[in-house]
A and B are shown apart, each in its own frame.
Chain A
């Protein structure tokens, strides 16, 4: 909308300390900010009264309403008399409606905090959340204890459902991704090794890489995105639907009932998926080694099996086991601490995946250091 048109819509005059505002023409989609400022300046320049009069006013929309409303607020705050008696009746009614606030919001909106205050708040928040994570961990361990002593209220059917979801249903995606990762690993390795004419060692590279760590990490990332997030979303939605409240008031332990079946299923499935990933990665490597680089079939597998050690394999499986624990913990914790609206379910899902991946990498570091120390 051009300036010209806006000027046509609002005309401001100043006479005998009285601000005269004429609103004219088709008052639709008018940006009134400048006019408000002009009125304000006139008021601070000694204006004692405001009157708003229509002048050939045709159609009008909320922009006029908002303009009049803002002027009325301005008049109120400056204790200036306001005359809107000549405006159309329906407009006056709407203004009255807007002014008829009977109650102020009881909750204070979040006020701005100083820098130091912000830091303190964040620190306290961090300590509190650490406490609650530790509390959750303790509850989970108690829950596992109850499970071992046959006293948990876990429903077996929940466990089977969770197991089906993170076992058979995950096979295809894990196979595909692992195959491709093996392929990539072999390809990148082969380019370098070929320069020494040592491309035969691609077989060892892929085998050691997949078995020791890559298999577990790939499965971990897939399952964090696929299963951990679904745990968070399911449990978070239960929070929104008050199902968690219902569980609690029935005296059923949330960890027994919701966390335990999911955690057990994932802890059981992860090592198996890791094995599958190892195998598929090796097949992917072989595909590149044999088909593209031209390493003889028997040679390739001979080197591959020579590189395969039980030690590496078990370290990989152990990673898978730990990752299963971490993913289910992060997923369930985010779900249980979810807020009570749809928005927070989304947040919980994101949080579960991010946390799971971060903690998996941290865990990998820890295990690596420990293995180093133990000489594994």
Chain B
């Protein structure tokens, strides 16, 4: 496998119990991509992300992340992958019993040998990077939804990950915060070369940041289209994709 391919998915079937959401999905995410997973509500985008992050075992097929096959990875391999990836959940998923600084310190404590003072400084820095300077000692219940998202991002970035996954980063954010988050994502990608996987159905974000994508379809349970979203808009391969990318205009 070449160094260029970060995530390699082959013949993947995603589902819960007997219920299949997607079958025979095959795609690759290259290093340095901003990769968009898009599709209508309920088509299994979040579930796909859960498979990529090892939370949901695939029903069939192979998923390898950074060259490690998730289906039969050893514990050490899993730890390495976890260290290399950061995840921003749909709701932020901050631990409500800890302050923001403690939330961000947690992965650092788990995976590094830094001294407590160093960890505290790093947590402060990461919070400042996402525009939350001075909120170190706030609890998640004391900040707004958008701030929670940003704090969640700071936690995802704590370990300088190679891959960052985002589940609907702009859902529930005002246009400006959403734009700022997009800028942050692009900045991250440009300055650190981080590979980024974003689940979203926010058209503005899709065109602003994405340079590769797959389009999932609930009816056929397959990948209906792939490629740069801007190209897809220019040459839509089928009606569904065109409709989606133009907010429901018929061809």
Check A252–B97 contact: CB distance below 8 A: no
CA distance A189 to B107 in the complex (A): 59
Q: Is the CB of A55 closer than 8 A to any CB of chain B?
A: no
Check A251–B79 contact: CB distance below 8 A: yes
Q: Is the CB of B85 closer than 8 A to any CB of chain A?
A: yes
Which of A103, A247, A250 is most buried by chain B, counting CB atoms within 10 A of its CB? A250
Check A250–B106 contact: CB distance below 8 A: yes
What bracket does the count of chain A residues touching chain B fall in? 20 to 34
Check A241–B93 contact: CB distance below 8 A: yes
Q: Is the CB of A242 closer than 8 A to any CB of chain B?
A: yes
Check B50–A245 contact: CB distance below 8 A: yes
Q: Which of B19, B78, B91, B155 contacts A107 (CB under 8 A)?
A: B19
Question: For A250, what are the chain B residues with a Cβ–Cβ distance below 8 Å?
Answer: 82, 106-107, 110
In chain A, residues 203-249, which have Cβ atoms closer than 8 Å to a Cβ of chain B?
238, 241-243, 245-249
Known: A249-B82, A249-B85, A250-B106. A106 touches B218 (CB 8 A): yes
Output the least CB separation between B47 and chain A (Å). 12
Q: Is the CB of B96 closer than 8 A to any CB of chain A?
A: yes
CA distance A153 to B79 in the complex (A): 15
Check A252–B87 contact: CB distance below 8 A: no
Task: Encode contact with B along A106-120: 1 for CB under 8 Å, 0 otherwise.
Answer: 111000000000000
Question: For A153, what are the chain B residues with a Cβ–Cβ distance below 8 Å?
Answer: 110
Q: Is the CB of A173 closer than 8 A to any CB of chain B?
A: no
Question: For B85, what are the chain A residues with a Cβ–Cβ distance below 8 Å?
Answer: 249
Q: Is the CB of B53 closer than 8 A to any CB of chain A?
A: yes
Which of A107, A153, A161 is most buried by chain B, counting CB atoms within 10 A of its CB? A107
Check B82–A251 contact: CB distance below 8 A: yes
Check A251–B110 contact: CB distance below 8 A: yes
Q: Is the CB of A158 closer than 8 A to any CB of chain B?
A: yes
Question: For A241, what are the chain B residues with a Cβ–Cβ distance below 8 Å?
Answer: 91, 93, 96
Task: Encode contact with A along B56-98: 1 for CB under 8 Å, 0 otherwise.
Answer: 0000000000000000000000110011010101110111110
Q: Is the CB of B55 closer than 8 A to any CB of chain A?
A: yes
Check B94–A249 contact: CB distance below 8 A: no
Chain B contributes a number of interface residues (CB within 8 A of A) equal to 28
Check A249–B55 contact: CB distance below 8 A: yes
CA distance A250 to B78 in the complex (A): 10
Question: For A252, what are the chain B residues with a Cβ–Cβ distance below 8 Å?
Answer: 106, 110
In chain B, residues 194-251, which have Cβ atoms closer than 8 Å to a Cβ of chain A?
218-219, 221
Question: For B106, what are the chain A residues with a Cβ–Cβ distance below 8 Å?
Answer: 250, 252
Question: For B55, what are the chain A residues with a Cβ–Cβ distance below 8 Å?
Answer: 245, 248-249
In chain B, residues 100-145, which have Cβ atoms closer than 8 Å to a Cβ of chain A?
106-107, 110-111
Check A246–B87 contact: CB distance below 8 A: yes
Check B78–A246 contact: CB distance below 8 A: no
In chain A, residues 133-169, which have Cβ atoms closer than 8 Å to a Cβ of chain B?
153, 158, 161
**Which residue of B is nearest A161, CB measured?**
B97
Check A246–B89 contact: CB distance below 8 A: yes
**Which residue of B is nearest A153, CB measured?**
B110
Question: For A106, what are the chain B residues with a Cβ–Cβ distance below 8 Å?
Answer: 42, 218-219, 221
Known: A250-B107, A251-B78, A251-B79. A245 touches B89 (CB 8 A): yes
**Which residue of A is nearest B90, CB measured?**
A242
Question: For B110, what are the chain A residues with a Cβ–Cβ distance below 8 Å?
Answer: 153, 250-252
CA distance A63 to B21 in the complex (A): 36
Question: For B218, what are the chain A residues with a Cβ–Cβ distance below 8 Å?
Answer: 103, 106
**Which residue of A is nearest B54, CB measured?**
A249
Check A242–B79 contact: CB distance below 8 A: no
**Which residue of A is nearest B46, CB measured?**
A242
Which of A108, A245, A246 is most buried by chain B, counting CB atoms within 10 A of its CB? A246
Question: For A246, what are the chain B residues with a Cβ–Cβ distance below 8 Å?
Answer: 87, 89, 93, 95, 155
Q: Which of A107, A238, A249 contacts B87 (CB under 8 A)?
A: A249
Output the least CB separation between A155 and chain B (Å). 9
Chain A positions within 8 Å of B, measured between CB atoms, are 103-104, 106-108, 153, 158, 161, 238, 241-243, 245-252
With A243-B94, A248-B54, A251-B83 given, can you name 8 additional A-B contacts, CB distance below 8 Å?
A106-B218, A106-B221, A243-B96, A245-B55, A245-B87, A250-B82, A250-B107, A251-B82
Pairs across A and B, CB under 8 Å, 30 listed: A103-B218, A103-B219, A106-B42, A106-B218, A106-B221, A153-B110, A158-B97, A161-B97, A238-B95, A241-B91, A242-B91, A242-B93, A243-B93, A243-B95, A243-B96, A245-B50, A245-B53, A245-B55, A245-B87, A245-B89, A246-B87, A246-B89, A246-B95, A248-B55, A249-B82, A250-B82, A250-B110, A251-B78, A251-B79, A251-B82
